[in-house]
Amino acid sequence: MDLGLADRTIVVTGGSSGVGLATVRALLDEGARVATCGRDAGRLARAADWTGAGHDRLLTGVCDVRDAASVSRFVRRTAEEFGGVDGLVNNAGQSRMKGLDDSTADDWRDELELKFAGVLNPLHAARPYLAASGAASVVNINAVLAKQPETRLITTSAARAGILNLSKSLSAELAGDGIRVNSVCLGLIDTGQWTRRHAAAGSGTAYEDWQAELAADRGVALGRLGRADEVAYAVVALLSPRASYITGTSIDVCGGIGRSIL
Ligand SMILES: NC(=O)c1ccc[n+]([C@@H]2O[C@H](COP(=O)([O-])OP(=O)(O)OC[C@H]3O[C@@H](n4cnc5c(N)ncnc54)[C@H](OP(=O)(O)O)[C@@H]3O)[C@@H](O)[C@H]2O)c1
């Protein structure tokens, strides 16, 4: 099936690694032009090299999604070089492994800032271009934590729930501009986040065995962590103009984690 993404321009935040990079790759495979950002120039350059895409298809920019001015410059440059913006994937970020008793006021403030600025800054910057697109789609990368909070990730769970709520409001607010807004809620996806945690745990258990134990402990029905490309598939589907009647909803990509049917 032709997803209708050829020559459309999609901005993906945090595309130098993991889910963002897999999404960049999948979009390039569909013939889209992609712009992506991250804080580390070296990681971005290595990621761009890995895709094999030329400057006419892939634009990179160093910026922190918490910094509205630099996000705005990055999105404006994208629109100028590629002739507009048709889609936005708010992916950049990471989770915070903290419970109630070890979360400081700074943890709460930093987590809420990252999660909300990570959606609102790129959206404000891209909104005029998206409104002019005629087939605009925003995908907010979220977590099943938004619906099934974990006490060991208390700040992230609360922030994620807020973002899911915000996404619903945005879908209603932006429908009049022809902009669809949806969420993809992740379970445990095998990316840099988990390799870093495995290294930090220093348990001596091989990574594959550690992953299997993790999946069992968290009740993942499929018994394994997901791959970033398995997330990218859902993101690309929501970005496609063929998903023209899908807005204000969320898709879980989580291997059947948990027992909720909501
Ligand atoms: N993996 C999972 O199991 C899982 C589960 C639920 C939700 N998620 C969410 O999915 C998204 C992608 O995670 P991932 O697992 O793919 O992580 P990852 O491999 O660590 O990639 C994160 C990407 O975001 C960029 N980034 C982080 N903070 C940023 C900032 N403030 N401004 C700009 N770029 C930033 C990183 O580049 P720099 O570090 O160079 O900036 C990197 O490109 C995150 O929002 C994460 O919270 C992941």
CA of 96 to the centre of ligand 1 (A): 11
pLDDT class for 260, splitting at 50, 70, 90? confident
Residue with the nearest Cα to atom 14 of ligand 1?
18
pLDDT class for 98, splitting at 50, 70, 90? very high
Secondary structure (H, E, C), the chain? CCCCCCCCEEEEECCCCHHHHHHHHHHHHCCCEEEEEECCHHHHHHHHHHHCCCCCCEEEEECCCCCHHHHHHHHHHHHHHHCCCCEEEECCCCCCCCCCCCCCHHHHHHHHHHHHHHHHHHHHHHHHHHHCCCCEEEEEEEEHHHCCCCHHHHHHHHHHHHHHHHHHHHHHHHHHHCEEEEEEEECCECCHHHHHHHHHHCCCCCHHHHHHHHHHHCCCCCCCCECHHHHHHHHHHHHCHHHCCCCCCEEEECCCCCCCCC
Q: Is the CB of 47 under 6 A from ligand 1?
A: no
**Any idea which of 37-46, 94-103, 203-212, 216-225 has the lowest mean pLDDT?**
203-212
Write down the pLDDT at residue 259. 79
Write down the pLDDT at residue 192. 87
Write down the pLDDT at residue 261. 76
Q: Does the pLDDT at position 26 exceed 90? A: yes
pLDDT class for 42, splitting at 50, 70, 90? very high
Q: Is the CB of 225 under 6 A from ligand 1?
A: no
Write down the pLDDT at residue 203. 82
Task: Read off the pTM.
Answer: 0.98
> What's the mean per-residue pLDDT of the chain?
97
CA of 144 to the centre of ligand 1 (A): 15
Write down the pLDDT at residue 251. 97
Write down the pLDDT at residue 25. 98
CA of 216 to the centre of ligand 1 (A): 24
Q: Is the CB of 141 under 6 A from ligand 1?
A: yes
Residue-wise pLDDT for 117-165, tens only, equals 999 999 999 999 999 999 999 999 999 999 999 999 999 999 999 999 9
Domains defined for the chain, CATH in brackets: 9-187+227-242 (3.40.50.720), 190-225 (no CATH)
Q: Is the CB of 168 under 6 A from ligand 1?
A: no
Q: Does the pLDDT at position 193 exceed 90? A: no
CA of 176 to the centre of ligand 1 (A): 30
**For the residues 73-95, what does the mean pLDDT come to?**
98
Q: Does the pLDDT at position 262 exceed 80? A: no
**Any idea which of 44-58, 207-221, 224-238 has the lowest mean pLDDT?**
207-221
Residue with the nearest Cα to atom 30 of ligand 1?
64
Q: Is the CB of 17 under 6 A from ligand 1?
A: yes
